[in-house]
Amino acid sequence: MPKNTYRPFSPNPEFLELLPEGYSGNRVNGLDEQEVRPPTMVWWTPDMDAAEFGRAQQWFYNHEQPDEEMLQLRAHRHKVVGEPLPDVAAQRIERTAEEWTAALDDFVQAGDCEMTGVTLLRPEWVFDHQEANLPTVIMLAVQHDYEELRHVPETRGGKDVTRQYGRAAEVSKKVAAWLREQGWQADAVTGPMTGKILMIPPAIECGFGELGKHGSIINPEFGSAFRLGAVLTDAPFATTPKREFGVDDFCSRCRVCENACPPIAIKPEKQTVRGVEKWYVDFDLCIPFFAETSGCAICIAVCPWSLPGVGENLAVKLARRAERLAQADE
- 62-105 pLDDT, tens per residue? 988 899 999 999 999 999 999 999 999 999 999 999 999 999 99
Distance between CA atoms of 240 and 199, rounded to whole angstroms? Answer: 16
Q: What is the mean pLDDT of residues 227-237?
A: 98
Beta-carbon contacts of 58 under 8 Å, excluding residues fewer than 6 positions away, are: 18, 48
Instruction: Find the domain containing 257 and state its range.
Output: 14-329
Is the residue at 275 inside a domain?
Answer: yes
Q: Report pLDDT digits (tens) over 296-310.
A: 999 999 999 999 999
State phi, psi for 5 to the nearest 5 degrees.
-70, -10
Is the residue at 7 inside a domain?
Answer: no
DSSP-assigned states of every residue in 196-232: SB-SHHHHHHTTS-EE-TTSSEEBTTTBT-EEEEEEE
Q: Is pLDDT at 330 greater than 80 in this prediction?
A: no
Q: What's the sign of the alpha-carbon dihedral 128, 134, 135, 136?
A: negative
State phi, psi for 275 to the nearest 5 degrees.
80, 5
Q: What is the mean pLDDT of residues 233-259?
A: 97
The total of other beta-carbon atoms located within 10 Å of residue 75's CB is 11
Q: What is the mean pLDDT of residues 6-25?
A: 96
Beta-carbon contacts of 276 under 8 Å, excluding residues fewer than 6 positions away, are: 36
Is the residue at 2 inside a domain?
Answer: no
State phi, psi for 131 to the nearest 5 degrees.
-130, 140
Counts for the chain of helices (H) and strands (E), in that order: 14, 8
Q: Is pLDDT at 37 greater than 70 in this prediction?
A: yes
Q: What is residue 49's predicted lDDT score, i.e. its pLDDT?
A: 95
Is the residue at 6 inside a domain?
Answer: no
Categorize the per-residue pLDDT at 1 as very low, low, confident or very high, splitting at 50, 70 and 90: low
Q: What is residue 217's predicted lDDT score, i.e. its pLDDT?
A: 98
> What amino acid is encoded at 92 in this protein?
R
Look at the chain and report how many structural domains it folds into: 1
Q: What is the mean pLDDT of residues 215-224?
A: 98
Q: What is residue 325's predicted lDDT score, i.e. its pLDDT?
A: 84
Q: What's the predicted TM-score (pTM) here?
A: 0.96
Q: What is residue 322's predicted lDDT score, i.e. its pLDDT?
A: 86
Average pLDDT, the chain: 96
Measure CA of the first residue to CA of the last residue in the chain; give whole Å: 38
Long-range CB pairs of 15-19, under 8 A, 24+ apart, other chains included: 15/56, 15/59, 15/63, 15/288, 15/291, 15/292, 16/288, 18/55, 18/56, 18/58, 18/59, 19/53, 19/56
Q: Report pLDDT digits (tens) over 266-279.
A: 999 999 999 999 99
Is the residue at 4 inside a domain?
Answer: no
Please check whether residue 200 is in contact with residue 216, taking contact to mean a CB–CB distance below 8 angstroms. Answer: yes
Is the residue at 158 inside a domain?
Answer: yes
Categorize the per-residue pLDDT at 328 as very low, low, confident or very high, splitting at 50, 70 and 90: confident
Q: What is the mean pLDDT of residues 13-37?
A: 97
Is the residue at 193 inside a domain?
Answer: yes
Beta-carbon contacts of 143 under 8 Å, excluding residues fewer than 6 positions away, are: 114, 115, 164, 221, 222, 225, 226
3-state helix, strand, coil in the chain (%, to 5): 40, 15, 45
Is the residue at 85 inside a domain?
Answer: yes
Please check whether residue 6 is in contact with residue 244, taking contact to mean a CB–CB distance below 8 angstroms. Answer: no
